[in-house]
Structure 1
Amino acid sequence: MDKCLREILRLKSKFDLEIIVVDGGSIDNTLSIVKHYQEHLGVKILYDQGKGLGYARDIGWRSSSAEYIVMLDSDVLLNEEFIAEAIKVLERDKELGAVAAKLKPISLDKGWFGRFQEKNLAIHLHHQDPPYPAEAVALHTACTVFKRKVLEEVGGFDEFFDLAKEDSDISYRIRKRGYKLSYLNYYAIHLERARILKTNFRYGRSYVLISRKHPNMEKLWRFKNIVLTSSIVFPILQPLIYLYYLRRYIKLQTLSFIEKVILSLIELLRQDLRTIGMLYQLILDRLQTH
């Protein structure tokens, strides 16, 4: 949070910024850091009351008065060039609803796992997505600029998505409204910690929720999820899934052989955790209906 606000402070003189921080029940020193910057940035602090991501993002933008809304995660450093170009493109293109920066993961954990996770995320993020004027299917909300009027038209963020996938949901609703989404060819630094267990389990749970609301965009029982579920139920299939990922990584010329071997294992773990989260949510939903 400190690095995020420090970067915003640096940009304060160049942009007319209204800073709103939504606290998600933090138990560390986040609030003391925010209050330290209040005098310099005029930060408004809101609380999500434990309602999660969708609610937090929604109360944040609604409490602002800006024409353009920048969604920024606390572990992302705002890119000055991205903001300037985003406003310019959104003002020019009336069909655009939102644009996002591409994320460059930087691990804060200097151990071997952190280093390999950083490389793995860089491979699987949206680096290969063509930039504007090409359209994106969905955008993240870690460093994204929305037109306020578009958020108003679609009704804002859905608080139902309290764990993850609130970004996919708002993206699909914006597109259904007739607007376009795009990535700009600018990078924002994403300061990553090795939270592979919690993060991916939550993503997996959210797969179930997003598939129910947008079944045409996020089919739950697509081939990939069927295969991964089978490998959880029948662990003897796990080596085959690993070989599939290894075959994909082998094609990457920028990695050494040992990196390809280890990154394939990390990706298998990442996908297994998401699948377990998905199955957990399905079982939880079934129990709650009985």
Structure 2
Amino acid sequence: MMDQRTPTNKYEIVVVDNCSTDSTKKVVDQFSAKGNVRYIFEPTLGLSYARNTGWRSARGKYVAYLDDDAIACPVWLDKILEAFETVTPRPGCVGGRVTPIWEASRPEWLSDWLLHGLTIIDWSDMPHILTNLSEEWLVGANIAFPVEILERVGGFTPNLDRAGNNLLSSGDVFLENQIKNMGYSCFYHPDITIGHHIFESRLSQSWFIRRYYWQGVSDAVIHLLQERPSMLKRLRFAYSQAKILLQSPGKLKTLILPTNNPERFTQKCFTLIILGHIYGVLRFVRPWQ
């Protein structure tokens, strides 16, 4: 962040410490002497809580998010401001490309589609409005909003995204859908680019199996938040999904058998999404409360 072409007096860096046990505060304090870096401690564990503390503490008109394992390109802030101030009507959120910084070799079983599970996106070389968020979306590691929009929508929902060791996700996409429902667009610009560190610990099949099962759980939470179905409707949904799985021996086979084939492992992960969705729909009571 310190090598941005945007003049330092035009932006601030807010570092939200969400219950870390390392030397985060000490490191941030060393940079605070530069004048535009602030440290804030958020005691409630959870990514959504940390992100909400960030925008509520920000002093600017816009707030842009960058994860602690990401590196912004030098024109990152310039391009974010350009999108907000030149695209008409003004978008409700903007974001862009996320490229991997591999800490180990990419496994042969890791398909391009499964890269999305590592928060890697590259939708096109052309800036454009995202019309279908189930096909193209922005990610929380590289996204920006007008503060007034976050105030109107209430920020990130605390029922989604990481909290401790769980792998809940999709709080970013849920917020994007809320913004679209308010009549604003979500805008993708490829030059709003960050590099995202891909830790070796995440390059195992066991991590992806867990990650995509929890994607299904996350989808279930969104399902419940959006539709608030009765328990009877939940049971009917779970039954219909389980029936589809039981009638698909190919999916069950890929779920059970080990494989290094990228297509088969991708199918295994997609089947785990269904299982996680079934579990989540039956498990959670009222996530909107």
Out of 73, 78, 96, which is 1:84 matched to? Answer: 78
CA contact (8 A) 1:203 1:277 kept: yes
How far 1:200 moved relative to its partner? 2.6
Structure 1 unaligned residues grouped into runs of 5+: 1-7, 243-260
How far 1:183 moved relative to its partner? 0.6
Deviations 1:253-283 (A, max 9, x none): xxxxxxxx73213313432333333233233
CA distance in 1, matches of 2:25, 2:194: 23
- RMSD over aligned Cα atoms: 3.7
How far 1:87 moved relative to its partner? 0.2
How far 1:31 moved relative to its partner? 5.2
Q: After superposition, where does 1:120-269 map in structure 2 within 5 Å?
A: 120-122=113-115, 126-128=121-123, 131-136=126-131, 137=133, 138-162=137-161, 163-186=168-191, 187-193=193-199, 194=202, 195-215=207-227, 230-231=244-245, 233=246, 236-238=249-251, 262-269=261-268
CA contact (8 A) 1:58 1:159 kept: no
How far 1:171 moved relative to its partner? 0.6
- What is residue 47 of structure 2 aligned with on the other side? 53
Deviations 1:141-183 (A, max 9, x none): 1111211121122222222224322111211111111111111
Q: After superposition, where does 1:73-112 map in structure 2 within 5 Å?
A: 73-92=67-86, 93-110=88-105
Indicate the percent of aligned positions where both proteins have the same amino acid.
21
Structure 2 unaligned residues grouped into runs of 5+: 162-167, 229-233
CA contact (8 A) 1:157 1:166 kept: yes
CA contact (8 A) 2:6 2:78 kept: no
SS at match of 2:169: coil
Q: After superposition, where does 1:273-288 map in structure 2 within 5 Å?
A: 273-285=272-284
SS at match of 1:100: strand
Distance 1:120 1:154, change over 3 A: closer
Q: Say which structure is richer in helix.
A: 1
CA distance in 2, matches of 1:266, 1:283: 26
Q: TM-score, normalised by structure 1?
A: 0.72
CA distance in 2, matches of 1:185, 1:70: 16
Deviations 1:213-269 (A, max 9, x none): 3359xxx99x9xx778844x5783237769xxxxxxxxxxxxxxxxxx732133134
> For residue 212 of structure 1, what is the amino acid of its counterpart?
L
CA contact (8 A) 1:230 1:237 kept: no
CA contact (8 A) 1:107 1:191 kept: yes
CA contact (8 A) 2:99 2:121 kept: no
Equivalent residues, number: 255
SS at match of 1:70: strand
Deviations 1:112-148 (A, max 9, x none): 53x6548554588542357434334342211112111
Q: TM-score, normalised by structure 2?
A: 0.72
CA contact (8 A) 1:201 1:274 kept: yes
